[in-house]
């Protein structure tokens, strides 16, 4: 995975494309430079030159690609470019984008889940693969359709039907100087409009030097670009109109895109950032965790001590369930402001995990220093690689969420969970309590999360009507068992943070030990209940709520007939592996909180009394 390479803790691939009036290579590199903030380990561009596809790629920084282009210039008025953060295959020039055959060249963000099956099928037909990447299966799939006689647009339409995962694609074709195709499923893409020119970018920032006139593709869209404009198709293939907006990206490092708030944008970015975070810790081709050396033998860890604040603490609480159940190692967890003062005895040969989005949280930093002084091996899970907590740790486990502007954490939380899930698997394997088949099943469940998250945000409208009812309440309860208990706590925190409604999360089994006294027909109760081994017990608690008139909002993959009581709303979830449920079920709680806050008219991105990073005690 290239762990010797310095990483900046951000890490999302970047896509650019230009249908220009003159040679585009220089402008493609300039656009990629504006995406450097996302982090990358290789870069490349491809153009249509005299009817043929040509490309230049290089490992490392863009200056290496520029040197290559100085020695071997690229002509061509149509081109695509990419900065890559390695997911499948090592960060080598061979694995760098664009990938191509004689007919097709592709740049890609995200994960193609079924690439192994596609590759096997295409190799059986005689296609020769040159890389270790999932992206190359897309190139050969489109090429295969064109070899059957389909023109480029029809070939892409057919190929998209066979792709599983969350992805963004930019595609050009030999012999077609006035054509580029874009597709978006889970990873963002923007189309830019110029005078006789058209542009494609991962976000508006890449396109700011060329145009401020932008259309954001919506989930499931694919678009056919020519120099005269763009024809956009929805998931079903129907031609649709999408708003054309004026972008302000040139003035900002990050902008809201087509979202009303940064929080909404960050919720929608989760398929992409979870993909990149998981890819940092998983060898997807092998179906195994590929975890960095923590400087401590994983099979010798006697206890894990986790400490964090706020949302990060709830990520740690989920990890306690995972590590104890999967790796069979006892876990101690406490909020940092408590652990640092109670002078907890820490065992020799222990691992201390500190979780912080900013890496500057004062209480968490103080706890780190306490743990370090008491002989613990320190591993920090942070989103900012240069932060104080990162610098004072023995090992840094970066989340690749990118800049999170909204005060209420969303994508940073799910990326923290992604790292912690991989850590639990790594410890379990090292200790010999997780066999190869179980590990592969967990890894498969994790790699499917981006696709499932994209599906949830695609049906966002259902959360608006739920939020309208919640906005009338004075109190809201969240219930869950097992790993769903921390998600209930996090859901309640989100609602409190941004809507200012009173909300509490409880372990569902605690209902009869006090909270049930609060329930009447004016109290919404949000129940997080995946159909796992605790489902029947959770439903039993839910029936107690229903008997007292509570208005139940159920988040579950269970069939309605299994619920056996009346619910006010049922947010239907896909069925996934048990390790994946906390990541997935966090997303509906985020959307519930967001839309409730919008209806309440609060400042969603900067709620009162709160700061993004708490750097004082």
Q: What is the CATH number of the domain that holds 149?
A: 3.60.20.10
pLDDT at 31: 86
Which of 425, 447, 469 is the last residue in one of the domains?
447
Which of 429, 447, 465 is the last residue in one of the domains?
447
Which of 242, 258, 274 is the last residue in one of the domains?
258
Whether 292 and 193 map to the same domain: the answer is no
Whether 34 and 109 map to the same domain: the answer is yes
pLDDT at 614: 54
Residues 492, 323 contacting (CB under 8 angstroms): no
Is residue 472 among the annotated active site residues? no
pLDDT at 43: 86
CA distance 16 to 172: 12
pLDDT at 100: 92
User: What CATH number corresponds to the domain at position 570?
Assistant: 3.40.50.10490
Neighbouring residues of 270: CB distance < 8 A, sequence distance ≥ 6:
410, 411, 414, 450, 453, 457, 587
The number of angstroms, rounded, from the C-alpha of 211 to the middle of its chain's C-alpha atoms is 28
What is the reported pTM?
0.78
Is 6 a member of any domain?
no
pLDDT at 249: 53
CA distance 574 to 596: 24
Q: What 3-state DSSP class applies to 361?
A: coil
- If one counts every other C-beta atom within 10 angstroms of the C-beta of residue 210, the result is 20
Which position among 61, 444, 537, 612 bears the catalytic label?
A: 612
What's the domain range around 95?
A: 14-258
Neighbouring residues of 531: CB distance < 8 A, sequence distance ≥ 6:
556, 557, 558, 562, 575
CA distances from 466 to 191, 394, 461, 617 (A): 33, 45, 9, 37
Q: How many domains does the chain have?
A: 3
Is residue 422 among the annotated active site residues? no
The DSSP secondary-structure symbol of 291 reads P
Whether 116 and 252 map to the same domain: the answer is yes
CA distance 106 to 99: 5
Whether 99 and 188 map to the same domain: the answer is yes
List the end-to-end C-alpha distance of the chain, in Å, as a whole number. 37
Is 269 a member of any domain?
yes
Across the beta sheet with 104-112, the strand order is 99-100, 104-112, 165-173, 176-185, 222-226, 229-233, 239-240
CA nearest neighbour of 312 among 404, 429, 448: 404
Residues of the chain under the 70 pLDDT cut = 1-13, 36-40, 84-92, 248-255, 511, 515-518, 546-547, 549, 610-617
Whether 441 and 477 map to the same domain: the answer is no
Is 357 a member of any domain?
yes
Whether 432 and 463 map to the same domain: the answer is no
Which position among 13, 309, 371, 422 bears the catalytic label?
A: 13
| Burial degree of 436 (CB within 10 A; 0-12, 13-18, 19+) | exposed
Q: Which residues of 138-167 are buried (b: 16+ CB within 10 A; e: fewer)?
A: bbbbbbbbbeeebebbebbbbbbebbebbb
Give long-range contacts, CB 8 A cutoff, 24+ apart: 608-616.
Answer: 608/500, 610/407, 610/408, 610/497, 611/407, 612/358, 612/404, 612/405, 612/407, 613/357, 613/358, 613/360, 613/361, 614/309, 614/310, 614/361, 614/362, 614/363, 615/358, 615/360, 615/361, 615/362, 616/362
Whether 199 and 345 map to the same domain: the answer is no
C-alpha atoms less than 13 angstroms from C-alpha of 270 in its C-beta half-sphere? 33
Q: What 3-state DSSP class applies to 153?
A: helix
pLDDT at 610: 65
Is 8 a member of any domain?
no
pLDDT at 318: 97
List the structure tokens of 543.
């029936």
CA distance 321 to 594: 27
């Amino acid at each position: 995975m290239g762990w010797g390479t310095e990483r900046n803790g951000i890490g999302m691939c970047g896509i650019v494309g230009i249908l220009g009036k003159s040679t585009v290579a220089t402008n493609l590199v300039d656009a990629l430079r504006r995406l450097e903030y996302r982090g990358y380990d290789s870069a490349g561009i491809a153009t249509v030159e005299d009817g043929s596809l040509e490309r230049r790629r290089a490992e490392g920084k863009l200056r290496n690609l520029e040197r290559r282009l100085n020695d071997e210039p690229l002509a061509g008025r149509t081109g695509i470019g990419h900065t890559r953060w390695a997911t499948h295959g090592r960060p080598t020039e061979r694995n760098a984008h664009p990938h191509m055959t004689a007919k097709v060249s592709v740049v890609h963000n995200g994960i193609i889940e079924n690439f192994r099956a596609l590759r096997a099928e295409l190799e059986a037909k005689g296609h020769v693969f040159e890389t270790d990447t999932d992206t190359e299966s897309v190139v050969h799939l489109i090429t295969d359709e064109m070899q059957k006689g389909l023109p480029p647009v029809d070939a892409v339409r057919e190929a998209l039907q066979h792709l599983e995962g969350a992805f963004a694609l930019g595609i050009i074709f030999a012999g077609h100087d006035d054509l580029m195709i874009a597709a978006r499923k889970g990873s963002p893409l923007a189309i830019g409009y110029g005078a006789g020119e058209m542009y494609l970018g991962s976000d508006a920032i890449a396109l700011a030097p060329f145009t401020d006139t932008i259309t954001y593709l919506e989930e499931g869209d694919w678009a056919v670009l020519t120099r005269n404009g763009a024809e956009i198709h929805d998931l079903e293939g129907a031609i649709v109109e999408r708003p054309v907006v004026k972008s302000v990206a040139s003035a900002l490092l990050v902008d809201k895109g087509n979202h009303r708030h940064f929080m909404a944008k960050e919720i929608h970015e989760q398929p992409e950032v979870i993909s990149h975070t998981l890819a940092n810790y998983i060898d997807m081709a092998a179906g195994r965790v590929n975890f960095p050396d923590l400087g401590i033998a994983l099979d010798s860890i006697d206890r894990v001590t986790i400490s964090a604040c706020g949302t990060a603490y709830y990520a740690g609480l989920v990890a306690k369930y995972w590590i104890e159940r999967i790796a069979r190692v006892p876990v101690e967890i406490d909020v940092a402001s408590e652990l640092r003062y109670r002078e907890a005895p820490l065992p020799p040969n222990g691992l201390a995990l500190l979780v912080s989005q900013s890496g500057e949280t004062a209480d968490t930093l103080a706890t780190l220093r306490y743990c370090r002084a008491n002989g613990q091996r320190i591993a920090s899970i942070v989103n900012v690689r240069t932060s104080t907590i990162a610098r004072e740790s023995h090992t840094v486990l970066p989340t690749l969420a990118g800049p999170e502007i909204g005060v209420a954490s969303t994508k940073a939380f799910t990326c923290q969970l992604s790292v912690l899930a991989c850590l639990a698997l790594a410890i379990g394997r090292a200790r010999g309590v997780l066999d190869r088949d179980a590990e592969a099943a967990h890894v498969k469940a994790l790699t499917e999360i981006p696709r499932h998250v994209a599906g949830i945000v695609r049906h966002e409208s259902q959360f608006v009507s739920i939020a309208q009812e919640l906005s009338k309440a004075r109190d809201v309860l969240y219930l869950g068992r097992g790993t769903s208990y921390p998600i209930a706590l996090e859901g309640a925190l989100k609602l409190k943070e941004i809507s200012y409604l009173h909300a509490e999360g409880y372990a569902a089994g605690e209902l009869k030990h006090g909270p049930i006294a609060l329930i009447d027909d004016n109290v919404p109760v949000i129940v997080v209940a995946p159909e796992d081994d605790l489902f029947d017990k959770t439903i039993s608690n839910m029936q107690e709520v229903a008997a007292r008139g509570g208005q139940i909002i159920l988040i579950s993959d269970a069939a309605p007939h299994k619920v056996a009581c009346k619910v006010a709303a049922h947010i239907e979830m896909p069925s996934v592996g048990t390790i994946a449920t906390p990541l997935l079920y966090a997303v509906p709680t985020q959307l519930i909180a967001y839309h409730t806050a919008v209806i309440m008219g609060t400042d969603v991105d900067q709620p009162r009394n709160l700061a993004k990073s708490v750097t004082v005690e």
